[in-house]
Amino acid sequence: MADRLLTGTTLVETKNTGVGQVWCVPGIAFQTANPDTDQVTKNPDTGDITADADGIDLTCPINIPDRAVITNAIIFGNAGAGGETWYLRRGIVGSPGNEETIATEKIGNGDSSITTPTVNNASYYYWFETSLDTNDTIYSARVTYSI
């Protein structure tokens, strides 16, 4: 049986894998931010999202339990997307302009060096952010954490 943490998933789910809790989301959960929000293709059969133009910015909210400790984050994508950087970010509730990156890596690579790993949902909100070029595809994203 394939290791679930290495293969990713196209289902929105949270589960205990024996190595921590896992939150997963399909690529179609990513929303376009700019420049043109309609220049993507969302495939409901496979759960992925593909850019139809260059420089498409995308975001995806992350919802994991308060006081969880993030141990790893990754966005999975096709080979073309592998040159793009993803960011795991957090912002202060009610205080725009104070956002910070707490993890970052290239699509297809995970980051376990989370700068502020303990989730504080009372004070912060969390999301993935990335940019795609034409034919770049996001399959899914995953955050691994412990409670």
Tokens of 30: 């990513």
CA 135 to chain centre: 18
What CATH number is associated with residue 47? 2.60.120.260
Question: How deeply is 90 buried, as exposed, middle or buried, from its count of CB atoms within 10 A (0-12, 13-18, 19+)?
Answer: buried
Q: Output Rg (C-alpha) for the chain, integer angstroms.
A: 15
Residue range(s) defining the domain that contains residue 84: 4-146
The model's pTM is 0.84
The average pLDDT across 78-89 equals 96
Element (H, E) at 69: strand 69-77
Count of Cβ atoms closer than 10 Å to residue 17 Cβ: 11
The average pLDDT across 2-13 equals 41
In total, how many domains does the chain have? Answer: 1
| Residue 130 · residue 85 · CB < 8 Å | yes
Average pLDDT of every residue of the chain: 88
